[in-house]
């Protein structure tokens, strides 16, 4: 790969990484709002709005794992940990800063919105570390087993397993710290996991298209070829 294409490949990696980190941090900050969603009236989901952005993180890591390799994917996961911890620090400092009398948002309202952020980020980081590293490991296990073929298989198998671990872990911790009542554990687990499985199935053609165009643009020949 020539120098110009190498620079473009690094720029693309940076863009994908930015999308990944933004989705991760945003999902942790907005998680306290819940909504209902009834696709085609078949089933009514009760979900945190944080789940809207979070599955994108797995989509991005699968694309990076496929095109850039395991090391680059793991590097991005570590960057996500740092970004989440730094966002938490900013929230803690902002929460302890006394609001002025004329501030549109007073201390009480701010704490009500961000009061559980510390617990949420802690729970999310624990679940995130387990799930993301598991996602990358399973993805590359199936990639080796299938000799770089059947992208749909490793994409879905890795996501199904990692998202189950993620959903169970984060809900267990949130219920343990009394952010969410235990009575809601079962329904939120079912709703959250079903939503993530649906997203994984929907994002499969997206991954195929993204990987195809990236490989074509950078002249990578053969399924399983990576940017070295």
pLDDT tens, N- to C-terminus, the chain (228 residues): 678 888 999 999 999 999 999 998 898 888 888 899 998 888 899 888 988 887 888 889 889 988 898 889 889 988 988 898 898 889 889 989 999 999 999 999 998 888 776 776 677 777 777 776 787 788 778 778 877 777 777 777 777 888 888 888 888 888 888 878 999 999 999 998 998 888 888 888 898 899 889 988 887 766 556 776
* Domains in the chain, CATH or no CATH each: 3-27+48-218 (1.10.1760)
Buried b (16+ CB within 10 A) or exposed e, 34-65: beeeeeeeeeebebbebbbbbbbbbbbbbbbb
Looking at residue 225, what is its pLDDT?
Answer: 63
Query: Are the CB atoms for 6 and 156 separated by under 8 Å?
Result: no
Structure tokens at 90: 């900013």
């Amino acid at each position: 790969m020539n120098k110009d294409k190498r620079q473009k490949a690094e720029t693309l990696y940076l863009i994908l990484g930015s999308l990944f980190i933004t989705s991760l941090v945003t999902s942790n900050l907005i998680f306290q709002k819940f909504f209902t969603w009834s696709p085609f009236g078949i089933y009514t989901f009760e979900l945190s709005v944080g789940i809207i952005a979070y599955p994108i993180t797995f989509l991005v890591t699968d694309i990076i794992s496929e095109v850039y390799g395991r090391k680059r994917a793991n590097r991005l996961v570590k960057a996500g940990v740092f970004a989440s911890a730094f966002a938490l620090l900013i929230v803690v400092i902002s929460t302890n800063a006394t609001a002025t009398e004329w501030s549109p948002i007073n201390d009480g309202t701010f704490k009500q919105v961000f009061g559980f952020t510390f617990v949420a980020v802690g729970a999310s980081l624990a679940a995130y570390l387990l799930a993301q590293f598991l996602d990358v490991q399973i993805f590359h296990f199936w990639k080796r087993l299938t000799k770089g073929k059947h992208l749909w298989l490793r994409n879905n198998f890795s996501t199904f397993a990692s998202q189950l671990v993620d959903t169970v872990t984060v809900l267990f911790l949130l219920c343990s710290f009394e952010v969410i009542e235990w009575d809601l554990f079962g329904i939120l687990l079912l709703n959250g996991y079903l939503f993530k499985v649906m997203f994984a199935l929907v994002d499969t053609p997206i991954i195929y298209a993204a990987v195809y165009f990236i490989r074509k643009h950078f002249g990578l020949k053969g399924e399983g070829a990576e940017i070295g």
